[in-house]
Amino acid sequence: MNKPATQAEEGIDNPLLGELTRRGITVSQAKKLLSSLEPGQQVIDQLEWGDYIVSQGAIKNPPGLYVTFVRENMTPPDSFESSRKRRLKQEQAQAASGEQLEEDALLLEYGEYRNKEIDQYIANNPERYEHLRLTKVEDARVKFDGFAEWKPELADKFVTTLARAEVAKGIPFDTFETFRRRRIPQAIPQLLLALPAPAPTPEQGSDAPASAGEDYIVV
């Protein structure tokens, strides 16, 4: 059987391409996956979620699992903390301001927005979603040898991830840039509240009461 070429042999300098090939995916397949990524797709999150499942055993074709995760743009469950999420949380905890932190926070918000939209669809279409989950169970049994041997909890999370990824395909999400523009007007009132009160003008000062602590009403 032909082995995937090493990164040195292929001259790989794309970090994502390297992450894919070191997990056993051929260079040609990896390039094909990367050429069709969705805007804002978090490939490393998907690969690390795949790493976790592979580490649990019973995966006979790990490269095929990774390909499915990336190709289907599968979002890991909320309970899974990728290295990216962990880094973003650490950065937010260590500093209170900065453009990069604002960007990181917005990326987390965008992920939460997408998850809420998926949750809303599932809440509105429970029967359709359950049917979709059952379909994904059958798909997993066909695509992944040994799926029946997986731990029940792991299999359930995996099928849920597959089903939610399928739901996401039919939701007209805002792009990240649109989401960013929509969030700016919402942030303006908070910024205004944080501004110091303007100093009184000379005219205003001449009409002020003699006692600074005295309350008065102008009618």
In a domain, 158, yes or no: yes
In a domain, 149, yes or no: yes
Q: Given this model, what pLDDT does residue 199 score?
A: 55
In a domain, 129, yes or no: yes
Count of domains observed in the chain: 1
Structure-token pair, residue 50: 């795949």
CB atoms within 10 A of CB 4: 19
- Which residue is it, tokens 């029940």? 152
In a domain, 115, yes or no: yes
Give the Å distances, CA to CA, from 64 to 75, 107, 116, 192.
17, 28, 29, 51
Q: Given this model, what pLDDT does residue 182 score?
A: 82
Q: What is the dihedral of CA 35, 177, 106, 83, to 10 degrees?
A: 0
Structure-token pair, residue 144: 């992944």
In a domain, 44, yes or no: no
In a domain, 28, yes or no: no
In a domain, 163, yes or no: yes
pLDDT in tens, the chain (219 residues): 445 444 444 444 588 999 999 999 999 999 999 999 988 889 999 999 999 999 887 788 899 999 999 998 888 888 888 998 888 877 776 665 566 667 777 888 888 999 999 999 999 999 999 999 999 999 988 888 788 888 888 899 889 988 999 999 999 999 888 988 887 665 544 444 444 455 555 555 545 444 444 443 343
List the domain range (segments joined by +) for residue 109.
79-183
Closest CA to 26 of 3, 49, 1: 3
In a domain, 168, yes or no: yes
